[in-house]
């Protein structure tokens, strides 16, 4: 690569690297940060042909993209969790010792659920420590979150690990750094500095796009003291001028974007930056179907998910529109599991002693709930006919068994999944029932799309004759016609016909999660099909978190908190109360939403105050704020 073709920002980064300085390349939405990362990697390889380079990123999809752009024997591209685990895996003695130490540390988040909090946990971990999808302390199996905690502990306490890491890699790059856990940043910028060996750490990303609460957000702590040198990339290659102007007003840091000088950039036309269209709509009613049919959406294709996206803050707001409300209610609003959580919280808070042989009903009756509202809630659950049917399934079981029942909506929707291959990889939160259903629906999709080789790879059904081809077509057609059947009926049909057999993971899930399985199996299969289409991006609906990194011709943003007090759109527009943290979090999610638009952006607010309308005019311009 000739140096004259390098971006100016890349040249600045290379100068910092030449001086042995850690760096941060900050770039706003649509600035081409991945392109810059690839340039830096290629030039680093050219200048240092024998050096090993590590590049860590957030998702398997991003790993795949970088590997396709740069293929070199000295480059290791991986997710952060996989990278850290690979550096620890061979140090089993230290792993065992560290895990025991962390489990027995009262301040640590790693706990054995079967352990009495007062007694010391002892385990020889004869089968070693292994990185798995789920946590099982007794078997020495740690999952996604625990890998980071253990890695941070080991790099802090074992200097030899720091020497080994720096010996192996002279350059370590982190893509989408803002989503990286603080524990990882501590490892790279604090713990490994115990070693005097040379290693340059480089970060790429945008603090305004740090929309996950478990991410570090920014590196101000390190840039302010000069330990990390910041380089800003100000160009915008995606958004039209009006969206760029709006985004600059929303940003809360020192970076101001401007149109790219590249005449071939996607947001340029005939040598000039596209102007685009932005609107802030508001109404006294909340009839979105009616609003979508107004003149403001002329030409929008809501049936084309690749061109148009409607962004809501939560899956709960989308579920009724996308048609998987019953599944969402099971995973997120189960009344009996919520009751169980309330009781467990009370037991822990008051250090209550519960008889080991007590049933769930006995504990519900015995645990004193001083809060009258909670007691009324319990009475309502027990006396409500539909809830009572659920309660009856568990009331006579040992409380020790009910206590372990865990239902989490991430097991259903798994927000951070980025491609169709990721659902079975480390860190996925989908449970094995949902994964099994995904296998069935994915096989239908592959068959319909005529991706036969991939279809054959994923099914146990052997297609070795014309008769078998006819048979598999009949089976697929039958499943496609089973939308009104229950999930249980479809699972059994797919198993009996050999297209998707019930494997050990499915059977173990059914055995260990009987209550959840019994609820889900009665739901109509079309509910899951709707969930599948939504999660795979085949619908115009998306959460505002899920679309980070994506771009669309038309973007429709619904400003509705959905009773989620982590966000406050009224405060964003100068009205209402809320903490500074909530405001910053809301500013960032709004920035991410607006900067997805390549042509048209429309934001809708239901019943705004005059203060909100005035702020909207300040941001969007008087002519772009309209009542509908």
- Calculate the alpha carbon distances from 161 to 95, 156, 187, 243 in Å: 12, 9, 11, 47
Angle at 267 between CA 617 and CA 594, to 5 degrees: 40
Closest among 573, 579, 576 to 617, alpha carbons compared: 573
Determine if residue 597 is labeled as part of a ligand binding site: no
Determine if residue 562 is labeled as part of a ligand binding site: no
Which residues face 24 on adjacent strands? Answer: 203, 230
Determine if residue 29 is labeled as part of a ligand binding site: yes
| 3-state SS, residue 571 | helix
Tell me the HSE value of 376 on the side-chain side, using a 13 A CA sphere: 3
Closest among 265, 294, 292, 176 to 598, alpha carbons compared: 265
Cβ atoms of 316 and 562 closer than 8 Å: yes
Closest among 223, 208, 283 to 253, alpha carbons compared: 208
Determine if residue 28 is labeled as part of a ligand binding site: yes
Cβ atoms of 207 and 177 closer than 8 Å: no
Determine if residue 416 is labeled as part of a ligand binding site: no
Closest among 254, 172, 249 to 207, alpha carbons compared: 254
Neighbours of 18 (CB within 10 A): 10
The whole-angstrom separation of Cα 560 and Cα 568 is 9
Angle at 179 between CA 174 and CA 182, to 5 degrees: 85
- Calculate the alpha carbon distances from 388 to 371, 391, 401 in Å: 22, 5, 19
R_g (Cα) of the chain, nearest Å:
27
Closest among 75, 90, 178 to 129, alpha carbons compared: 90
- Calculate the alpha carbon distances from 169 to 199, 317, 567 in Å: 7, 46, 40
Q: Where are the alpha helices (DSSP H) in 501-568?
A: 504-512, 514-520, 525-535
Determine if residue 260 is labeled as part of a ligand binding site: no
| 3-state SS, residue 627 | strand
Cβ atoms of 548 and 596 closer than 8 Å: no
The whole-angstrom separation of Cα 571 and Cα 212 is 20
Annotated binding site for ATP: 27-34
Annotated binding site: 27-34
């Amino acid at each position: 690569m000739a140096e004259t073709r390098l971006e100016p920002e890349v040249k600045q980064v290379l100068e910092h690297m030449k001086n042995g300085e850690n760096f941060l390349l900050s770039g706003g939405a649509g600035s081409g940060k991945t392109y810059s990362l690839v340039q830096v990697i290629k030039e680093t390889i050219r200048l240092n042909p024998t050096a090993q380079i590590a590049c860590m990123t957030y998702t398997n999809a991003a790993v795949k993209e970088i590997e396709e752009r740069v293929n070199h024997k000295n480059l290791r591209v991986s997710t952060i969790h996989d990278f850290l685990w690979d550096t620890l895996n061979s140090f089993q003695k230290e792993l065992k010792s560290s895990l025991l130490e962390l489990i027995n540390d009262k301040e640590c988040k790693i706990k054995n659920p079967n352990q009495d909090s007062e007694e010391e946990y002892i385990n020889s971990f004869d089968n070693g420590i292994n990185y798995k999808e789920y946590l099982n302390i007794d078997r020495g199996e740690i999952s996604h979150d625990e890998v980071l905690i253990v890695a941070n502990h080991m790099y802090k306490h074992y200097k030899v690990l720091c020497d080994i890491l720096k010996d192996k890699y002279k350059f370590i790059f982190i893509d989408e750094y803002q989503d990286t856990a603080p524990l990882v940043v501590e490892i790279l910028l604090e713990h490994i500095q115990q070693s005097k060996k040379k290693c340059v750490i480089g970060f790429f990303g945008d603090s305004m796009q740090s929309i996950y609460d478990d991410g570090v957000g920014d590196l101000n702590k390190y840039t302010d003291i000069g330990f990390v040198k910041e380089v800003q990339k100000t160009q915008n290659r995606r958004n039209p001028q009006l969206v760029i102007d709006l985004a600059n007003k929303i940003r809360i840091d020192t970076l101001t974007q401007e149109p790219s000088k590249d005449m071939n950039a996607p947001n340029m036309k005939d040598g000039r930056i596209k102007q685009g269209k932005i609107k802030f709509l508001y109404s006294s009613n909340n009839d979105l179907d009616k609003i979508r049919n107004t003149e403001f959406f002329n030409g929008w294709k809501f049936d084309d998910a690749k061109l148009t996206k409607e962004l809501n803050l939560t899956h709960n707001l989308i579920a009724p529109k996308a048609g998987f409300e019953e599944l969402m209610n099971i995973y997120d609003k189960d009344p009996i599991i919520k009751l169980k959580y309330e009781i467990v919280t009370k037991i822990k808070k008051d250090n209550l002693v519960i008889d080991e042989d007590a049933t769930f009903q006995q504990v519900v009756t015995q645990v004193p709930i001083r809060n009258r509202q909670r007691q009324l809630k319990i009475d309502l659950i027990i006396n409500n006919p539909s809830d009572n049917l659920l309660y009856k399934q568990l009331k006579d079981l040992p409380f020790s068994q009910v206590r372990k029942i865990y239902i989490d909506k991430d097991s259903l929707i798994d927000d951070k999944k980025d491609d169709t291959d990721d659902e079975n990889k480390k860190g996925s939160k989908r449970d094995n029932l949902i994964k099994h259903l995904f296998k069935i629906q994915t096989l239908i999709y592959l068959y319909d799309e005529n991706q036969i080789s991939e279809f054959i790879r994923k099914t146990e059904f052997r297609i070795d004759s014309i008769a078998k081809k006819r048979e598999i077509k009949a089976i697929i057609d039958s499943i496609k016609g089973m939308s009104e059947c229950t999930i249980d009926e479809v699972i059994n049909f797919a198993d009996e016909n050999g297209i998707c057999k019930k494997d050990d993971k499915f059977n173990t899930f059914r055995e260990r999660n009987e209550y959840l399985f019994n609820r889900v199996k009665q739901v109509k299969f079309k509910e899951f099909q709707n969930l599948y289409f939504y999660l795979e991006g085949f619908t115009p609906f998306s959460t505002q978190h899920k679309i980070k990194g994506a771009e669309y011709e038309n973007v429709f943003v619904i400003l509705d908190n959905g009773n989620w007090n982590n966000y406050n759109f009224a405060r964003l527009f100068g009205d209402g109360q809320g903490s500074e943290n909530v405001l910053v979090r809301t500013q960032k999610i709004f920035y991410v939403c607006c900067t997805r638009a390549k042509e048209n952006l429309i934001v809708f607010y239901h019943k705004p105050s005059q203060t909100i309308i005035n702020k909207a005019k300040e941001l969007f311009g008087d002519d772009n704020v309209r009542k509908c």
